């Protein structure tokens, strides 16, 4: 359920990504988690389970 004054989650995520391109992935992940909590949305944290010690996907998970 979305409050009528809130933008859809997808739009909000795109705004975060555009405005904060210099933010590293872990910080963006924390922002998304906070946004979901405040908005009453369910947040699935795939990043923490998949990222390696360099905050990247391991080669066996990545596309290339």
Q: Is residue 45 part of a domain?
A: yes
Q: What is the pLDDT of residue 43?
A: 93
Q: Is residue 27 part of a domain?
A: yes
Q: What is the pLDDT of residue 6?
A: 58
- The four Cα atoms 16, 29, 35, 4 give a dihedral, to 10 degrees, of 50
User: How many structural domains comprise the chain?
Assistant: 1
Q: Is residue 60 part of a domain?
A: no
Q: Burial letters for 17-34: b for 16+ Cβ neighbours within 10 Å, e otherwise?
A: eeeeeeeeeeebbeebee
27: containing domain: 9-50
Per-residue pLDDT tens, the chain, 64 aa: give them: 555 555 567 777 777 666 655 457 788 889 899 999 999 999 999 888 888 887 777 888 766 5
Q: Is residue 44 part of a domain?
A: yes
How many CB atoms neighbour CB 6 within 10 A? 15
Q: What is the pLDDT of residue 20?
A: 58
Q: Is residue 34 part of a domain?
A: yes
Q: What is the pLDDT of residue 44?
A: 92
């Amino acid at each position: 359920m979305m409050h009528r004054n809130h933008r859809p989650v997808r739009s909000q995520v795109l705004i975060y990504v555009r405005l904060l391109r210099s933010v590293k992935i872990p910080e963006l992940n924390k922002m998304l988690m906070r946004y979901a909590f405040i908005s009453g949305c369910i947040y699935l944290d795939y990043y923490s389970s998949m990222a390696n010690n360099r905050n990247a996907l391991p080669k066996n998970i990545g596309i290339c």
